[in-house]
Amino acid sequence: MKSDEIMDIALRRGFIYPSSEIYGGISGFYDYGHLGTLMRRKWEDTWRKHYLSLNPNYFEVDATNIMPKNVFIGSGHLENFTDPLTECEKCHSRFRADHLVEECLERCAEGLSAEEMSGLIKESEIPCPKCGGKLLDVKMFNMMFELSVGSTGDSETAYLRPETAQGAFLNFKRSFNTLRGKLPIGLAIIGRAYRNEISPRQGFYRLREFNQAELQIFFDPDTIDEHPDFEKIKDVSLRMFPLQNRSSGEVDEVKASELHKNYGIPKFYIYHLVKIQEFYLDKMNFPKELFRFRELSEDERAFYNKIHWDVELYTESLGGYKEMGGLHYRTDYDLSGHQKASGEKLEVNIEGKKMVPHVLELSFGVDRNFWTLLDVFYTDEGDRKLISLPKEVAPFRAGVFPLQKKEELENIAKNIYERLSKWFDLFYDDSGSIGRRYRRQDEIGTPFGITVDFQTIEDNTVTIRERDSMEQKRVKVEEIWKNI
RNA sequence: GCGGUCAUAGUGUAGUGGUCUAGCACCUGAGCCUUCCAAGCUCAUGACGCGGGUUCAAAUCCCGCUGACCGCACCA
């Protein structure tokens, strides 16, 4: 299976490892090895460059992973991130208690406490939908990791953040002021988030501790149907998978301008769809057939997301199209929620116009994107395994090799390695045959091999070997940097 | 959480109570050879997931834990 082959390389070469492995590991947690760390950092750098350059008023900020309980009352996570579960006494199947109450009693279960739901289930004698057995008391299961901050006597309940986004909302007011009161402003956060999944499956896809890269754009809702650069992108074809295509499975290619005209999606939203697609197709080189925007139905999306399309990539090892990110129009849900819960005014005043800005969220799961790069670009040619990673995200840009282990060649090669290392991540290797060393680099996605041979001594040229074609060309040492 | 299957070097595996001081292949390291694509030769490193039990004796049988995989449920 492809996921086994990728995991094999990942473990053997140093991309990812199970966390706390020497103690037996822990489900849903992975560590990054030396190659994985290089690669993830490069993915994040590429992400930064791409999304922060969309507007001079977009910046990266950073926020803590631990936040006090009240934050999550304001954000709605304490209420909405909690699932009421009930278990069957007989067959031990577990069910969402609120869903059962809604289905069986045809009443709204929103806002009911665990006790109220237990009472309703007992009164109405709702049986186990599977075996008809008796259902036990409802227990609240919250997906957030709970912590107590401070010494036990006066400790305060806090949580590990379940998404990086909250940091941007909490810092909105100060950021807005320090960035001199302009809209739109964008606050990006790249960092860890935590969800206590009941049972994480699919290896690296659903993690309990994971990395997110998110950009929260705060804008004036009256301007949602305009974008200064819309003209430039109006003819771009977007790969859309709207709700009505669910049964056919077909992806429509729709021009940005038509998306506006025929589907009524606002221009500000469309502009960012275009930029996201550009990131995946042009920066990450994914074949366009593997990419699509998937529209979410009302019950799939969070209630506060007014418009929600997921970014999906076809990932063989994960069994089909999988969510890599999303573009969420969150309205003023977050800022208004925090304004209400904190008592702090989060509305802004621009030239006499008072408003709570609306939020467009670009949200990406870093680890999933990382895994999918390995999946999509991995090829087993039989006698050669390679990962055709785009050079921007490959852990190493090039390998530097002396053709043979001879001092006169090694000296030149080491010298090239040292000089170019200021600009590129390189890997120096002088052991084994030259072919073996090329193959080793192919397997970890290194795009180029720079080889010092006997001709180098005479005319100061080296060969540069390209990973995918295995073709070589001879260039002057001073011009290597232009060719890799 | 439940049910099923499983756990031996970095990876893939052999091993069915004593022949295990745990075999093999690939990988890795040192050396020889080698003027560009996994060649060859020599040598070397490295493993029974963790904890308990049964037994004269456990990689092997039993129990618990942890983890992986597959179903069910869960997945703002």
Whether A385 is covered by a domain: the verdict is no
Assess whether A264 and A407 both reside in one domain. Answer: no
A418 plus A275 within the same structural domain: no
Note down the domain range covering A53.
2-66+163-378
Question: Considering the domain boundaries, does residue A9 fall inside one?
Answer: yes
CA distance A284 to A366: 13
* Residue A245 to residue A253: CA distance in whole angstroms: 12
Quickly give A277 CA vs B76 C1' distance in Å.
Answer: 25
A334 with A464, same domain: the answer is no
pLDDT, one tens digit per residue, over A66-98 is 999 999 999 988 887 777 777 766 655 667 777
* Encoded tokens for A97: 């208690």
Task: Annotate A40-108 with DSSP letters as a single string.
Answer: HHHHHHHHHHHHHTT-TTEEE----SEEEHHHHHHSSHHHHTEEEEEEBTTT--EEEHHHHHHHHH-S-
Given a contact cutoff of 8 angstroms between Cβ atoms, the answer to whether A390 and A398 are in contact is: no
C-alpha A467/C-alpha A482 separation (Å) is 17
pTM: 0.92
Nucleotide nearest to A204 (CA to C1'): B68
| Residue that wins the pLDDT comparison between A204 and A438 | A438
Q: What is the pLDDT of residues A169-201, one digit of tens each?
A: 999 999 999 999 999 999 999 999 999 887 777
Give the tokens for residue A93: 């199947």
- The confidence score (pLDDT) of residue A134 equals 72
pLDDT of res. A151 = 75
CA distances from A73 to A64, A69, A164, A284, A341 (A): 17, 7, 16, 38, 7
Mention every residue, 6+ apart, whose C-beta is less than 8 A from residue A346: A172, A173, A335, A336, A338, A339, A356
Find the nucleotide nearest A9 (Cα to C1′).
Answer: B11
Does A245 lie in the same domain as A167?
yes
Q: Which of A339, A280, A344 is nearest to A312 (CA)?
A: A280
The residue-averaged pLDDT of A34-63 equals 96
Which is higher by pLDDT, A226 or A11?
Answer: A226
Answer for A166: CB within 7 Å of strand B.
no
Q: pLDDT tier at A328 (50, 70, 90 boundaries)?
A: very high
Same domain, A298 and A419: no
Last residue of a domain, one of A93, A108, A142: A142
CA-CA distance, A475 to A409, in Å (whole number)?
16
Q: What is the CA radius of gyration of chain A?
A: 26
Percent of chain A whose pLDDT exceeds 90: 66
Q: What is the pLDDT of residue A119?
A: 78
Is pLDDT of A224 > 90?
yes
Looking up residue A340, the CATH number of its domain turns out to be: 3.30.930.10
Last residue of a domain, one of A352, A378, A404: A378
> What local confidence, expressed as pLDDT, does residue A109 receive?
64
For residue A310, being part of any structural domain is answered with yes
**pLDDT over 80 at A229, yes or no:** yes
> What's the CATH number where A426 sits?
3.40.50.800
A390, part of any domain? no
Residue A121 confidence (pLDDT): 77
pLDDT of residue A298: 82
- Residue A167 is predicted with a pLDDT of 96
Q: What is the pLDDT of residue A221?
A: 96
What is the rounded distance in angstroms from the CA atom of residue A242 to the CA atom of residue A251? 8
Beta bridge partners of A95: A86
| A103 & A192 share domain | no
3-state helix, strand, coil in chain A (%, to 5): 35, 30, 35
Whether the CB of A382 is less than 7 Å away from nucleic strand B comes out as no
A373 domain-assigned: yes
> What ipTM was estimated for this complex?
0.86
Q: Tell me whether strands A358-365 and A209-219 are parallel, antiparallel or unpaired.
A: antiparallel
Query: Which DSSP category does A279 fall into?
Result: I
Instruction: Write the DSSP symbol of residue A393.
Output: T
A56 touches strand B (CB under 7 A): no
On whether both A202 and A93 belong to a single domain, the answer is no
Q: Which nucleotide is nearest to A141 (CA to C1')?
A: B74
**Same domain (yes/no): A170, A253:** yes
Lowest mean pLDDT among A75-79, A98-102, A139-143, A386-390: A98-102
CA of A209 to C1' of B20 (A): 42
pLDDT in the model for residue A466: 96
Nearest amino-acid residue to B66, taking CA and C1': A24
Residue A228 has pLDDT above 90, yes or no: yes
State whether A196 and A291 are in the same domain: yes
- Residue written as token pair 């007989």: A90
**Residues 114-143 of chain A in contact with strand B via CB under 7 angstroms:** 130, 143
Ordered DSSP codes for A101-147: HHHHH-S--TT--HHHHHHHHHHHTPPPTTT--PBPPPEEEESSPEE
Yes or no: say if A329 and A269 are a contact pair by the CB < 8 Å rule.
yes
A133 pLDDT above the threshold of 70: no
Question: Which percentage of chain A shows pLDDT scores above 70?
Answer: 95
Give the pLDDT confidence score for residue A90 in this predicted structure: 63
Identify whether the C-beta of residue A313 lies closer than 8 Å to the C-beta of residue A285.
no
Peptide bond into A287 cis (omega under 30): no
> Are A312 and A449 members of one domain?
no
* Residue A203 Cβ under 7 A from any strand B atom: yes
**pLDDT at position A426:** 95
For residue A347, pLDDT beyond 90: yes
More confident residue, A337 or A152: A337
The answer to whether residue A205 sits within a structural domain is yes
- The average pLDDT across A97-113 equals 70
How many domains are there within chain A?
A: 3
Same domain? For A361 and A416 the reply is: no
Task: Please tell me whether residues A101 and A249 are part of one structural domain.
Answer: no
User: pLDDT tens digit string along A243-294?
Assistant: 999 888 899 999 999 999 988 899 999 999 999 999 999 999 999 999 999 9
Mean pLDDT for chain A overall: 90
Q: Are the C-beta atoms of residues A265 and A254 closer than 8 Å to each other?
A: no
For residue A157, is it within any domain?
no
* Whether residue A308 has pLDDT greater than 70: yes
Beta strands in A114-258, from DSSP E residues, in sequence order: 139-142, 146-149, 156-160, 185-194, 209-219, 237-241, 252-255
pLDDT level of residue A141 (50, 70, 90 thresholds): confident
Pairing assessment for the beta strands A209-219 and A185-194 based on DSSP bridges: antiparallel
pLDDT for position A338:
96
Strands A320-331, A307-315: pairing kind: antiparallel
Residue A475 lies inside a defined structural domain of this protein: yes
DSSP state, residue A356: P
pLDDT at A72: 93
Mean pLDDT for the stretch of residues A293-309 = 88
8 Å CB contact between A91 and A127: no
CA atoms within 13 A on the CB side of A257: 7
The pLDDT value given to residue A78: 86
CA atoms within 13 A on the CB side of A11: 11
Task: Mention every residue, 6+ apart, whose C-beta is less than 8 A from residue A369.
Answer: A43, A324, A325
Tell me whether residue A443 is exposed, middle or buried, using C-beta atoms within 10 angstroms of its C-beta: 0 to 12, 13 to 18, 19 or more.
middle
